[in-house]
Amino acid sequence: MRCVIQRVRSATVTVNNEVVGKIGRGLLVLCGFTEGDDDDKIKWVAGRIAKLRVFNDENGKLNKSCIDIGGSILAVSNFTLYGDCLHGNRPDFGRAAKGEISRPMYETFVSALWSYLPTETGRFGEHMELSLDIDGPITTVLEK
């Protein structure tokens, strides 16, 4: 499992001109899955993201989590995170789990995130447009 996590002031995901997910202050999480990812790994990653200290405390140090600041999460499935760009000019997505395998993984991930924080989503398998007000910028990658 691979996630790109961005601290945001706000984020919106739109499908066919319809806003399907929207958050204020919190984290945008782009998530991709590969063969062999299991529920234990997915739940561990969700907990790590919720508790990730990427928000400033009163001294300007990154000591607060999304939970601490009362934020929320926008989780967007993104198989292209497993694009291998080392050979040729077209990414190879062979390591990305196929839709029928990754959809239940994504649903488990969203459910696990909800156990920590309010969580909005995009629409799995759809073309999505994201609008972000990135805060920092603070961007990190989590892979397990």
Q: Which helix (H) or strand (E) holds 74?
A: strand 72-77
CA distance 74 to 144: 20
CA distance 25 to 65: 12
Tokens coding 138: 């603070």
Contact 13, 20 (CB under 8 A): yes
Contact 34, 95 (CB under 8 A): yes
pTM to 2 decimal places: 0.95
Per-residue pLDDT at 83: 94
Per-residue pLDDT at 54: 98
Contact 144, 5 (CB under 8 A): no
CA distance 138 to 48: 16
Domains and CATH numbers, the chain: 2-143 (3.50.80.10)
pLDDT digit string, tens, across residues 36-68: 999 999 999 999 999 999 999 999 999 999 999
Tens place of pLDDT per residue across the chain (144 aa): 999 999 999 999 999 999 999 999 999 999 999 989 999 999 999 999 999 999 999 999 999 999 999 999 999 999 999 999 999 999 999 999 999 999 999 999 999 999 999 999 999 999 999 999 999 999 999 999
Per-residue pLDDT at 119: 98
